Amino acid sequence: MTPRSVDEARRRLEDPLYRGLWDAARARLERTGLVISNRPIKVDVSGDARAAIAGIVGQSPAGAQPLSIRLDRVDAALSAGAAGLGLLDLLERMDGPLVDRRALRAERDALVTTSWGSLADHSAVMLHPRLQEWLGGLRSSGSALRVAGSVGGLEPVVRRALDVLAELPADGLPLAVFAADLTGDAHALDRATLLGSLVAGGLRHINPRPGSDDVDTGESDADPSWREAWARVGVVCDEVSVSVLVLNLDVNGRASGPVSSAILDHRDAGLPLRLTLQQLRAETLHFAPGAIVRTCENPSIVVRASAMLGAGSGPLVCTDGQPNSAVDELFRQMRSSGARLAHHGDFEWGGIRVANYLVERHLAEPWRFSTRDYLESAPLGRVALGEPRGMLSASWDPDLVPAMQADGRRVFEEQVLADLLGDLGS
């Protein structure tokens, strides 16, 4: 057979009459790893195209249903025919290289697995183990891959967010300063940016909101949880939105400044007051050395103390769960004056973590927050406690966590309110 006749045979196969077969064959082969099998493909054509395609494998074009064509027979007919080339070679000659999509998927999946495995070993995950849950959520939802835009871009995008999370907690830094120090861009962690959005999701796993071990996963632009999440790790989005709730603080000197005056006016009336971080940084407060200031975890305790005891209540500060920068600043000023902190919280794992933080950072003492206190109040519990995530112990009382695990009930501050109010009113 002459080269001219071979070329002519190959050109005839490029006739539009055969296009339906070649397109269907390419789609099947690329999907199944370029393997020519005896599994038929369906080719929905009619008229001359139907007759031409059926003729390649010597089957009848009769009928109205799509043709059922076996690719192994097409390959054999082509190889033995005048064109002198198999199905794979013909398809590549006409429309370019075939893509083994199965192999690409396998390669992509392997790269994704390697990337997530590498990210799981990041120092931020070692420092904050609950970030494992965050990474798991990003992986299962596919959200990180979508925002990265490609498998190759996945690891750098998430690693950059982990680099930021590894630097937390901070010590009252403004967000813009924190961002500029880490990235060189003061706006890199704004919530409208890709990096800022990713990091904000991770923050909720470093310090979830109080009340349970559940993680807050959503937010909207109008949701203050974004500011709160940053504040709980010592980064201030603005000094006005971060505040601490207090009742009847006994500061020294009404004339020392407007903040002290406001505190004393509210104390005289027995009313709660919110102090912003800006106010606390504008005026240093002074407290009597040795004075005991009780702290609680939930705002409802402050509200009830004000309603039931009024000006007769002892000093009380609410951490509102994990302390934010305003809480830390107030406690720092109290400790500088020589005042002592006595803390009570919920008998649940979040409450233990809050108390550990206060004991370590501010030398807080327990207030009705011991093993004995838990066992006496446990019969009031109605909510199952569950197991803590990761290793956990109460630094001030090693027997407390085992006792809570054994009993298995949460006891909230509101359930022992009468005892707390008794102490505050005495």
**Contacts of 122 by beta carbon, 8 Å cutoff, 6+ apart:** 159, 162, 163, 166
CA distance 364 to 343: 6
Burial class of residue 221, CB neighbours in 10 A (0-12, 13-18, 19+): exposed
Do 245 and 306 meet the contact criterion of CB atoms below 8 Å apart? no
Q: At 389, is the pLDDT very low, low, confident or very high (cuts 50, 70, 90)?
A: confident
- Residue 209 is predicted with a pLDDT of 52
Do 257 and 286 meet the contact criterion of CB atoms below 8 Å apart? no
Residue 348 vs residue 223, higher pLDDT: 348
DSSP state of 208: P
* Percent share of the chain, pLDDT over 90: 56
Is the model's pLDDT at 219 over the cut of 70? no
Segment 338-361 shows an average pLDDT of 95
Q: At 207, is the pLDDT very low, low, confident or very high (cuts 50, 70, 90)?
A: low
**Contacts of 247 by beta carbon, 8 Å cutoff, 6+ apart:** 266, 267, 270, 271, 272, 273, 302, 305, 306, 313, 315, 316, 317
Q: At 107, is the pLDDT very low, low, confident or very high (cuts 50, 70, 90)?
A: low
Burial class of residue 289, CB neighbours in 10 A (0-12, 13-18, 19+): exposed
CA distance 5 to 11: 10
Is the model's pLDDT at 218 over the cut of 50? no
Which whole-number Å values give the CA distances from 235 to 81, 93, 197, 230, in the listed order? 75, 61, 15, 5
CA distance 387 to 183: 38
* Percent share of the chain, pLDDT over 70: 92
Residue 102 vs residue 20, higher pLDDT: 20
Torsion, CA 265, CA 268, CA 273, CA 278, rounded to 10: 40
Angle at 279 between CA 275 and CA 283, to 5 degrees: 120
250-269 pLDDT per residue, tens: 998 655 789 999 999 999 99
Helix (H, G, I), strand (E, B) or coil at 272: strand
114-145 pLDDT per residue, tens: 778 888 889 999 999 989 989 888 888 877 77
- Residue 139 is predicted with a pLDDT of 84
Helix (H, G, I), strand (E, B) or coil at 426: coil
Query: In 310-370, which ranges are continuous DSSP H helix?
Result: 325-337, 349-362
Q: Specify the residue for token string 């027997």.
A: 399
Could you tell me whether strands 243-247 and 272-276 are parallel, antiparallel, or unpaired per DSSP bridges? antiparallel
Q: Which range (239-248, 260-269, 325-334, 356-365) has the least confidence?
A: 239-248
* Domains in the chain with CATH codes: 3-99 (no CATH), 102-236 (no CATH), 243-425 (3.40.1360.10)
Query: In 232-348, which ranges are continuous DSSP H helix?
Result: 258-269, 277-282, 299-309, 325-337
This prediction's pTM: 0.58
